[in-house]
Structure 1
Amino acid sequence: MKAFKLIPVLFLFLLGSCSSIKVNSDYDQSVDFSQYKTYAFHKRGVDRVEISGLDKKRILNAIDTELSKKGMIKSDNPDLLVNIFTKERERIDVNQYNAGWGYGWGYGWNPYLWGGRTYVSSYVEGTLYIDLIDAKKKELIWEGEGVGYLTEDRERKEIKINEFVAKILAQFPPK
């Protein structure tokens, strides 16, 4: 009987652990993206990002990897400047499961509900923005955003950051 009571908790855990990253992007439709072949990081913008130095390095390395896969080259005289911005917020979910209605003994005497349980979980939701700026015009031409759950586990953190960046940059260049 106790195993049946643990099933909702197990389901919540599995659902949370395989949650996906939601991404979207926006861009200037008048821009010919085929003209951009080189990039560099916008140092002043990247320096302002308020995350740990190690996480910043992970994000920049993931961006390097993804842009290289697209045939772009890092340069001291770039066509594009890459900027990042992050934010996070704590999310709290409250889920209530009821086993049935009527009179009876559940968890304590409850004349209306039988076998109900409430589960509360909290997690940190992070957002990563990647901005691509025309280096000559100093104009934003493309912006990607990824929203998903963050982890403190160092090995999973690197995997999660790589996944965030890959999914965001999969939308660049726009088709």
Structure 2
Amino acid sequence: MKAIKILPIFFLFILVSCSSIRVHSDYDKAVDFSQYKTYAFHKRGIDRAEISGLDKKRILNAIDYELGKKGMIKSENPDLLINIFTKERERIDVDQFNAGWGYGWGYGWNPYLWGGRSFVSTSVEGTLYIDLIDAKKKELVWEGEGVGYLTENRERKESQINEFVAKILAQFPPK
């Protein structure tokens, strides 16, 4: 009977541990986040983000959606300015198995070499930062960061961006 009660918790742990996006956030503890009801995008900052115009549009749409779910409204006279920026780096993984010396047939014709194989794979790891700036004070009050692997698959790209933004903004406002 105990195993049945533990099984859903086990599956939840597996589901959470399989998430490919890691998120972090930081904020100014002195700020009362309940005062913020409206937002706008910081155009100059957004224009500097070094990503394609289509991906930028996807990110901004996802931010609009997530902040709308939190009851925030886009405004010409905002409480918060939102800025984004991105980083990416290529990650190269080298995996070796059965590497060593000994007796056996390895590569070539030498019976005394026993080698392994190396597998090299590359992937692109991207980081999305979402900054929330107090519009009146012009001070950063909250910053969220999401790190995960990027895809070039166009059909999957939009859902991946939505997932990045949703996980980052799940930590806003701070509790």
**TM-score normalized by structure 1?**
0.84
Partner AA of 1:77 in structure 2: N
SS of 1:159's equivalent in the other structure is helix
Q: What's the counterpart of residue 37 of structure 1?
A: 37
Q: Deviations over 1:36-91 (max 9, x none)?
A: 11111011110111111000000000101111111111111111000000111111
Q: Identity of aligned pairs, percent?
A: 83
How many residues were matched structurally? 157
Distance in 2 (CA, whole Å) between partners of 1:95 and 1:110 is 24
Structure 1 unaligned regions, length at least 5:
1-17
SS of 2:58's equivalent in the other structure is helix
Distance of aligned partners of 1:123 and 1:79 in 2 relative to their CA distance in 1, 3 Å threshold: same
Distance in 2 (CA, whole Å) between partners of 1:139 and 1:94 is 43
SS of 2:160's equivalent in the other structure is helix
Partner AA of 2:126 in structure 1: G
Distance in 2 (CA, whole Å) between partners of 1:107 and 1:69 is 60
Distance in 2 (CA, whole Å) between partners of 1:67 and 1:107 is 58
Distance of aligned partners of 1:100 and 1:83 in 2 relative to their CA distance in 1, 3 Å threshold: same
Partner AA of 1:113 in structure 2: W
Give me the CA root mean square deviation. 1.7
| 1:19 CA drift (Å) | 6.0
SS of 1:105's equivalent in the other structure is coil
In the TM superposition, what are the counterparts of 1:9-158 in structure 2 within 5 Å?
A: 20-98=20-98, 102-108=102-108, 109=110, 111-113=112-114, 116-158=116-158
Compare the two structures and name the one with the higher strand fraction. 1
Once superposed, which parts of structure 1, at least 4 consecutive aligned residues long, lie more than 2 Å away?
99-102, 106-114
Distance of aligned partners of 1:88 and 1:136 in 2 relative to their CA distance in 1, 3 Å threshold: same
Distance in 2 (CA, whole Å) between partners of 1:112 and 1:142 is 58
Distance of aligned partners of 1:110 and 1:97 in 2 relative to their CA distance in 1, 3 Å threshold: farther
Distance in 2 (CA, whole Å) between partners of 1:113 and 1:19 is 38
Distance in 2 (CA, whole Å) between partners of 1:140 and 1:35 is 15
| 1:101 CA drift (Å) | 6.6
SS of 1:106's equivalent in the other structure is coil
Partner AA of 2:174 in structure 1: P
Distance in 2 (CA, whole Å) between partners of 1:164 and 1:172 is 14
Partner AA of 1:131 in structure 2: D
Distance in 1 (CA, whole Å) between partners of 2:67 and 2:111 is 59
Distance in 1 (CA, whole Å) between partners of 2:38 and 2:111 is 67
| 1:110 CA drift (Å) | 6.4
Distance of aligned partners of 1:170 and 1:19 in 2 relative to their CA distance in 1, 3 Å threshold: closer
Q: What's the counterpart of residue 8 of structure 1?
A: none
